[in-house]
């Protein structure tokens, strides 16, 4: 089942079908939401497709419909948009991690460690989770971030956070509830896959040549030469990020 809730009468809820379960359109048809199709597989592709449907929206909320997030928590995030342009959720606050949620020590402290690394590299605000996909953005933030989107996979969520910090867009991170998901995760349920995501984050969101400012910051902090582009040169950083998962 897909947990959907309309917060305001004028909300437009978009469900992106990215090779979802065949019953998805039927489930969505019983709600006020609408379905759009994205044929390019990947989390980043799906979210970018959804964002493309929000060109007239003043605020854009991104949330996965797998039951892990509480729709009511949007009421925690929305008030902060009066002061900042991007409100990220955080799943690493112990009291909000509900029984059965997939947030073991490996994921929790891995996400926290990379969040702290991000704080240091970009001298940004307090961060405690780089993998939470529950977030709200203003129209201005979306328009500023979209030209920099590159990742089509699981690294997209972190790429958005890095770009927000790079562009000095005002942001804050707010604890949200994290619940057991419906179905099996293709990422956090497999430690090997989680490690691969850590490498992908390095390859496509940090030291990638299409974001030279991000790459330069990381190379300088870790003492990596300007020509160090390959996986073998930045393996040390990748090993520090292997605990990252969405």
The pLDDT tens digits for 61-112 are 999 888 899 989 999 999 999 999 999 999 999 999 999 898 888 888 888 8
All residues at 6 or more sequence positions from 75 whose CB lies less than 8 Å from its CB, including other chains: 7
Question: Could you tell me how far CA 122 lies from the centroid of its own chain?
Answer: 18
Tokens of 176: 């949200």
Instruction: Quick: pLDDT tens for 59-69.
Output: 999 998 888 99
Least confident range from 161-165, 202-206, 214-218: namely 202-206
pTM value is 0.79
Q: How confident is the model at residue 243 (pLDDT cuts 50, 70, 90)?
A: very low
Phi-psi region of 71 (alpha: psi -120 to 50; beta: other; left: phi over 0): alpha
DSSP 178: B
The Cα 202–Cα 218 span in angstroms is 10
Instruction: Quick: pLDDT tens for 5-15.
Output: 445 556 899 99
The residue whose two tokens read 């300088």 is 220
The Cα 98–Cα 35 span in angstroms is 29
């Amino acid at each position: 089942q897909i947990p959907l809730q309309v917060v305001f009468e004028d909300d437009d809820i978009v469900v992106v079908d990215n090779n979802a379960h065949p019953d998805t359109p039927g489930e969505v048809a019983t709600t006020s939401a609408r379905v759009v199709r994205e044929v390019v597989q990947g989390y980043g592709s799906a979210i970018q497709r959804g964002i493309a449907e929000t060109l007239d929206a003043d605020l854009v909320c991104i949330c996965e419909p797998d039951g892990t997030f509480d729709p009511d928590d949007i009421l925690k995030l929305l008030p902060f948009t009066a002061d900042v342009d991007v409100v990220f959720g955080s799943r690493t606050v112990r009291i909000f991690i509900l029984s059965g949620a997939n947030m073991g020590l490996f994921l929790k402290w891995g996400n926290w460690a990379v969040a702290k690394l991000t704080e240091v590299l970009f001298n940004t605000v307090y961060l405690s989770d780089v993998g939470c996909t529950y977030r709200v953005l203003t129209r201005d933030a979306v328009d500023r971030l979209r030209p920099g989107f590159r990742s089509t996979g699981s690294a997209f969520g972190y790429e958005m956070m890095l770009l927000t910090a790079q562009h000095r867009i005002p942001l804050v991170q707010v604890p949200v509830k994290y619940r057991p998901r419906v179905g099996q995760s293709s990422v956090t349920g497999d430690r090997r896959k989680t490690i691969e995501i850590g490498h992908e984050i390095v390859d496509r969101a940090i030291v990638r040549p299409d974001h030279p400012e991000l790459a330069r910051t990381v190379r300088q902090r870790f003492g990596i030469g300007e020509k160090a582009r390959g996986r073998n040169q930045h393996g040390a950083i990748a090993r520090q990020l292997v605990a990252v998962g969405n």
